[in-house]
Amino acid sequence: MAYKYDEENIFAKILRGEIPNDTILENDHALAFRDINPQRPHHVLVIPKGKFVSFDHFAKEASPTEIVGYIQAIGDVCDLLNLSIDTGDGYRLIANSGEHGVQEVPHLHVHILGGSSCGRMIQS
């Protein structure tokens, strides 16, 4: 089986500059921007610049350099928004994947949610 990547997904368009976004941070391998429908005071999406559908796709097929760059961007967003548990009050990291994960946009993204308590992990 091969992962199928939809070139017309909304995050691909953001990466191509076709749709504006509220960028928080960018490095060679990742872009972080605010979610259009924030669920907490801070709600940031971090996406890899490569064409990966899901976290498992990324884990299997991304290069070590891409993986390091992506993970570093997540840590840098936590520092930038003072969410790190070293200096701040913490956050929740979510990667919805596929049908059962209820993933809407088929380009890997993690949600970083913080600024207030995220409550219990799963409500229903």
Q: What residues pair up with 111 in beta bridges, in sequence order?
A: 45, 94
In 3-state terms, what secondary structure has residue 91?
Answer: strand
- The count of residues interacting with ligand DGP (CB under 6 A) is 14
Dihedral, 12, 15, 19, 21 alpha carbons, nearest 10: 120
According to the binding rule CB under 6 A, does residue 103 interact with ligand DGP? Answer: yes
In the numeric block, the tokens 């089986």 are attached to 1
- Residue from 16, 37, 100, 120 binding ligand DGP (CB under 6 A): 37
Q: Which of 33, 55, 58, 70 binds ligand DGP (CB under 6 A)?
A: 33
Chain contacts with ligand DGP (rule: CB under 6 A): 10, 19, 21, 33-37, 45, 96, 102-105
Residues catalogued as catalytic: 109
